Structure 1
Amino acid sequence: MRLVEGLTGIEEPRPADLAGRTLDCPCGRRHQVPIEALVTDPGGVQEVGPFLARKGHRRVWLIADERTFAAGGSQAEASCREAGVVVKKTILPGEPMPHADKEALGRLAFDLEPEALPLIAVGSGTVSDLARFLAYRTGTFFVTVPTAPSMDGYTSSVAAMLVDGVRITFPAAPPRAIFADPDIYSRAPRELIAAGYAEMLGKLTALADWRLSAVLNGEYHCPLAEELVTDAARPILEDPGSPAVLMEGLLWVGLAMLMVGTSRPASGSEHHVAHYWEMRALWEGREPYGHGERV
């Protein structure tokens, strides 16, 4: 990552090295990474409680579904308890799989309090989108504990919500901190890990679409973001055997999107088709395949 090394002065940078940084990019823009902490080491979930305690918060709201709470939610809750932080929980059903839609938001609305609590999102795409949407709309913040290396949107500042069967992207809040603990996400179901690999394969067509549009339409293009995504995909394509390498690649891609302010570095025509397939399945009363599988 030559551009990253040149802008940061860090040899062999990791995603955590960009947390909180401002970078003056060759594209002419100043990129900001508003995430304060990005923890990727084993046992990182134990830092959730101390992080929130340092911020002066004594009560938080944990959102998960039944499966993701079993995977990492109980550990996040224990970390908060040990740090003196009281945890309020909303656990959505695990079967059928919840969606980021009005039904799930309605269930969460019953647990809203007049003074918005900081949120802990324990899960992957759906739980993250619900938490970031709620955090943005209620003026609070959230931290996330990924439970699967299945998608690249953990850093996202938008929420992809289902509204009357149509996928709509809303402004939302990026996480204040990410605690990606390999002891948790490496135990994810095989199909979720496979979805993450498939998601990374989609970056090849996404980057091609972006560069083509830059040439034909004069669309803004950022060489730093392209380098982040390309360098993130390369080791995964060469050696698709490590969930930790996969998660790091997905986080790099997420940082590229966050810095640019759109999903353009990681999402092209393949994502439009994938979202259509999802909506069509829901219209026909079928459960859609996972996002990465569709991509």
Structure 2
Amino acid sequence: MSELIKISSNLVAGIGSLHKIAQYLDDLKYPRSILILTGENTYKIAGKIVYDNLNSNGYDVNIKILDMKGYLSQVKQLALDLRNFSKSVLVAVGGGSIADIAKYVSNEINSLLVIIPTTLSSDAFSTSYSIFWNNNEKQAIKTKSPNLIVGDYDILKNQPKRFLGAGIGDMLSKLTAIPDWRLAFWFAEEQYNDFAAKIAMAETKLLIRRIDDIAKANYIGIKTLFHAEVLDGYLMEISGTTRVAAGAEHLISFVLENMSDNGLHGEYCGIGTILISYLQRGYNYSKKITKLLEKVNAPTTANQLDLTKSQLIKALTTAHKMRNWYTILGNGLSENSAERLLRYTHII
């Protein structure tokens, strides 16, 4: 059996990369028509640099400032509104929400896509999936991988430290996602890719070794986290599933994101990883993950995210319904078991 694997074929990363964006597009012989998708703040952070560089090098540049909450209905309408830009290059400048919107629009209008992340709070900029609100819950939709990813370490180095903590929360999810994936292989006959799983674990071990650099936001730390998040996109395409990077901890995150907007996706994933690691390997292992998250000032308790005990109990008792995945949660924990787990891990 063979299948076509579509992954981002081009990657540029380094110090001051955005000041050479026109050169990269010239080298790739991309069309001269550009549509920049960005937000009001991210335009000031990086979008203006991109616009000025492309405009001064003879590109026909249009800008669309996005101000939407990521509802699927809004994004569908945006794709319709931008269908005349199918011959242009879509350049997304921003965080995960901007990237998700751009991947959907580019997929719908069949355009080339360049993504320039301004934060590393999740791996959204590199994957071929987009997350949107639909019918009062978050839904994952298969979209497309970017044709080019551009990482500027100067921009990423200056992101708020909270985003780096969230990024580590998202990346450490593999510590529980991979064991869950193996359970699904053995007990639910789900597809499993051993090569992708081993690469994912090796990547996570490197992140742990360099977590002090990531906490300091020095160039070594930024480079490591950036490349790890890029690699996630490749691993999902190689394995044909998001399960290489997401398990029960993500299911918990999905429930919490539906109930509260106090935290970032990666922050909720971090909480979920603490909880699921306890079920998988016990207190000592769970405590190690807590300490890793504390090194990057990521939240490790309910109070830090203004979550109530009842919200967390609901997450643990209903998370298994969020996806048709086999995980260690099985058919869900009882309320009593959920509360015990929250206390044993010192989340509450």
TM-score relative to the length of structure 2:
0.69
Structure 2 SS opposite 1:40: strand
Matched, 1:99 2:99: no
CA contact (8 A) 1:125 1:153 kept: yes
Please, which moves more after superposition, 49-58 or 132-141?
49-58
Please, which moves more after superposition, 242-251 or 129-138?
242-251
* Superposition deviation, residue 164 in structure 1: 3.2
CA contact (8 A) 2:40 2:65 kept: yes
Q: 1:227 is matched with which residue: 198, 217, 236? A: 198
* Superposition deviation, residue 271 in structure 1: 0.8
Aligned Cα root-mean-square deviation (Å): 2.2
Aligned pairs for 1:1-295 (under 5 A) are 32-53=5-26, 54-93=28-67, 98-102=68-72, 105=75, 108=78, 112=82, 114-116=84-86, 117-240=88-211, 241=213, 242-281=221-260, 287-295=261-269
**CA-to-aligned-CA distance 1:183-240 (integer Å, 9 cap, x gap):** 1111111111110011111110111101111122222211221122111111221221
Query: Larger relative contact order (C-alpha < 8 A, sep ≥ 6)?
Result: 1
Counterparts of 1:288 and 1:146 in 2: how far apart (Å)? 22
Q: Which amino acid in 2 is paired with 1:67? A: N
TM-score relative to the length of structure 1:
0.80
Counterparts of 1:157 and 1:278 in 2: how far apart (Å)? 21
In structure 2, stretches of 5+ residues that fail to align are 214-220, 270-348
> Which residue number in structure 1 is paired with residue 276 of structure 2?
none
Number of aligned residues: 259
Counterparts of 1:182 and 1:261 in 2: how far apart (Å)? 30
CA contact (8 A) 1:149 1:196 kept: yes
Structure 2 SS opposite 1:167: strand
Change beyond 3 A, Cα 1:47–1:29:
farther
Change beyond 3 A, Cα 1:51–1:190:
same
Rg: which structure is higher?
2
CA contact (8 A) 1:196 1:292 kept: yes
Counterparts of 1:187 and 1:66 in 2: how far apart (Å)? 17
Counterparts of 1:169 and 1:207 in 2: how far apart (Å)? 19
Structure 1 SS opposite 2:263: coil
Please, which moves more after superposition, 70-79 or 185-194?
70-79
Change beyond 3 A, Cα 1:109–1:263:
closer
* Superposition deviation, residue 104 in structure 1: 5.0
Q: Determine what percentage of the aligned residue pairs are the same residue.
A: 25
CA contact (8 A) 2:85 2:111 kept: no
**CA-to-aligned-CA distance 1:158-182 (integer Å, 9 cap, x gap):** 2111123221122212101000111
Structure 1 SS opposite 2:243: coil
Q: Which amino acid in 2 is paired with 1:88? A: N
Change beyond 3 A, Cα 1:186–1:115:
closer
**CA-to-aligned-CA distance 1:62-94 (integer Å, 9 cap, x gap):** 11112222221112212312332121111234x
* Superposition deviation, residue 31 in structure 1: 6.9
* Superposition deviation, residue 30 in structure 1: 6.2
Change beyond 3 A, Cα 1:280–1:50:
same
Q: Which amino acid in 2 is paired with 1:42? A: I
Structure 2 SS opposite 1:264: helix
Structure 1 SS opposite 2:130: strand
Considering fraction of residues, name the structure with more helix.
2
**CA-to-aligned-CA distance 1:242-275 (integer Å, 9 cap, x gap):** 1221111122222111222221100111111111
In structure 1, stretches of 5+ residues that fail to align are 1-27, 282-286
> Which residue number in structure 1 is paired with residue 297 of structure 2?
none
Counterparts of 1:133 and 1:260 in 2: how far apart (Å)? 21
* Superposition deviation, residue 34 in structure 1: 3.2
CA contact (8 A) 1:160 1:168 kept: yes
Change beyond 3 A, Cα 1:106–1:265:
closer
CA contact (8 A) 2:79 2:109 kept: no
Change beyond 3 A, Cα 1:115–1:63:
closer
